Homo-oligomer: A and B are copies of this chain.
């Protein structure tokens, strides 16, 4: 439905979109202020020059948006425009202040990304199975919205419609607050003795994983969404204060912890919608090539579907712990079969 797309900004998101479109034989043009980024992105996407792109995707940092909007509108006043910023109110305000008529613009936000950035980290399948939010303004042309929805679905994402203000409030909750929390927790590790850090387990790793995020990207996001973020941080600040007051009181601690446990259960399962309940089959295998393949061959022979897998190595030991996640029935079937042919299968668990 859209045959030609110009993408302005050859970062992770822009280039990934370019790769995905190229894989679907849509004509793509990649532009970037940095000529080396542009050259790489053009190479990766087989990018061409397009005089009259049907759609122009703005994939630049927030600070460049106003200038780029006006430049691009001057070049191609008939194109449909969309952005991919992580916030949606400020881009809309920038469009309102620009020459670009609102009817030709659709704000969007692909909920996808990686801790690494840049065109060199781009992936055509970055958006597969992810949510992609659109925040069309009342004035957005229905044709323009249709084009944008079409592209999103082409890239394998699920289109979610929100208004811009709700979007910024929502991502403050599910993305910005966790980011800041991870950042502050990781920041507290400076000066800790290395022998103590050696004791770090999954808990510390999980809670600080996203602290690896790019500060240049995030400084824009947080300051753009500062009102929402400030409100949430202030609530957290109060809750933290309450916890400090409660540290000597077991019953108060238990109430706070129970609240956290119940809160976590509100998060939907990995695939969205209802939480999936898997059954886990732990198997101790020799840590050498061939073992995993043999297990997966047995899975195929049994026609069971492995939903997830975790590998836990034993440093200095010649074995590893593999935990497969399957449906309850498949787990029983697989576990019985593998045990019967001599695999070191541990009791299945939820």
**Partner-B contacts on A (CB < 8 A):** 111, 116, 120-121, 123-125, 128-131, 133, 156, 158, 160, 162, 166, 169-171, 173-175, 177-190, 192-213, 215-216, 218-220, 222-223, 226, 229-230, 232-237, 239-241, 243-244, 247-251, 253-268, 270-273, 282, 284, 288-290, 292-293, 295-297, 299-300, 303-309, 311-317, 319, 321, 346-347, 349-350
Which residues from B are CB-within-8-Å of A185?
177-178, 181, 236, 260
Q: Give Cα A296–Cα B300 distance, bound, in whole angstroms.
A: 12
Distance from A300 Cβ to chain B, minimum over Cβ atoms (Å): 4
The answer to whether A183 touches B256, judged by C-beta atoms less than 8 angstroms apart, is yes
Which residues from B are CB-within-8-Å of A166?
196
Which residues from B are CB-within-8-Å of A240?
184, 233, 236-237, 240
Q: Give Cα A40–Cα B253 distance, bound, in whole angstroms.
A: 30
Distance from A100 Cβ to chain B, minimum over Cβ atoms (Å): 25
A-B contact pairs, 17 of them (CB 8 A): A116-B350, A158-B315, A177-B188, A181-B185, A183-B256, A184-B239, A186-B260, A188-B232, A189-B266, A211-B264, A223-B247, A223-B248, A223-B250, A233-B240, A292-B296, A292-B299, A309-B311
Contact partner, A215, options B192, B248, B253, B313, Cβ 8 Å: B253
Which residues from B are CB-within-8-Å of A204?
174-175, 178, 267
The answer to whether A272 touches B198, judged by C-beta atoms less than 8 angstroms apart, is yes
Which residues from B are CB-within-8-Å of A293?
293, 295-297, 299-300
Secondary structure dominating the interface of A = helix
Distance from A107 Cβ to chain B, minimum over Cβ atoms (Å): 15
Which residues from B are CB-within-8-Å of A211?
260-261, 263-264
The answer to whether A237 touches B244, judged by C-beta atoms less than 8 angstroms apart, is yes
Distance from A163 Cβ to chain B, minimum over Cβ atoms (Å): 12
Q: Give Cα A88–Cα B290 distance, bound, in whole angstroms.
A: 43
The answer to whether B210 touches A206, judged by C-beta atoms less than 8 angstroms apart, is yes
Q: Give Cα A171–Cα B226 distance, bound, in whole angstroms.
A: 34
Lowest 10 A-B CB distances belong to which pairs?
Answer: A183-B260, A293-B296, A215-B257, A129-B314, A186-B263, A170-B196, A290-B300, A226-B247, A189-B263, A186-B264
Q: Give Cα A127–Cα B152 distance, bound, in whole angstroms.
A: 46
Which residues from B are CB-within-8-Å of A263?
186-190, 208, 211
The answer to whether B215 touches A254, judged by C-beta atoms less than 8 angstroms apart, is yes
Distance from A64 Cβ to chain B, minimum over Cβ atoms (Å): 14
A123/B346 contact (C-beta < 8 A), A187-B259, A253-B222 known? yes
The answer to whether A131 touches B209, judged by C-beta atoms less than 8 angstroms apart, is no
Distance from A299 Cβ to chain B, minimum over Cβ atoms (Å): 6
Q: Give Cα A193–Cα B268 distance, bound, in whole angstroms.
A: 12
